[in-house]
Every structure is written in C-alpha cells, then in structure tokens.
Amino acid sequence: MLERKQVKGRTQVTFVLPENAPDGPVSVVGDFNQWDPAAHPLKARGDGTRAVTIALPSPATHAFRYLAAGDYWFDDDSADGHDGTNSRLHT
C-alpha cells in the first residue's frame, strides 16, 4: 500500500507492507535510490505493518519494486501502474 502526503513541492510517500508478508527483511528499491537495496529498508510499526517514508520531487514518475530475502522481487498492487517490469508511482 502507498500513503502520500504533499509537503512543500515534494510528495512524502510511505511504502507499507504487512509485517510478515513476505517473511524476512524487505527494502523498497527504485530509480529514486539508484536501485540500492540498503537505502530504504522497511521497519516494523506498532500497527502490525512495516513501512518506510521517502520524500520525492513532485510532479514526477518513478519506477520501483520491493526486494525481500532470498532475492525475491515483487511489485506493489496499489501502485499507479506497472510497465511490465516495475511498479510505477506518480507524485
């Protein structure tokens, strides 16, 4: 799930996943962090989810995916679209 908030010409995007689906560590990787899996790991929240918030320029379109343990790549069903390889996000 994606949560968004406009702040001073930028969009704060919070990437949210269930706490244990999939099991193990998960990072969001995309063109906004040069596809670096160490840049934005999701962290547990008190509501049973895990998340990370990233401030992105607006307006813009970004490609991203999630990377879980075991080199498991997956998309976000709530993304603004998919290009056949990546999830797409419009800020």
Does the predicted model carry a pTM greater than 0.85? yes
pLDDT at 19: 87
In a domain, 32, yes or no: yes
> Is 38 a member of any domain?
yes
**AA identity, residue 5:** K
Instruction: Split the chain (91 residues) into runs of 10 and give each run's mean pLDDT.
Output: 92 94 94 97 95 95 96 95 95 93
Q: Residue 9: its pLDDT value, please? A: 87
pLDDT of residue 21: 85
How many domains does the chain divide into? 1
Q: CA 38 to CA 40: how far, in whole Å?
A: 6
For residue 66, give the CATH number of its domain: 2.60.40.10
Phi then psi for residue 17, to 5 deg, are -135, 155
DSSP label at residue 41: B
Domain extent for 52: 2-82
Query: In which residue are the tokens 């320029």 written?
Result: 57
pLDDT of 90 reads 95
- Locus of tokens 């895990």: 50
CB contact at 8 A, 57 and 9: yes
Cα three-residue angle 81-86-87, rounded to 5 degrees: 35
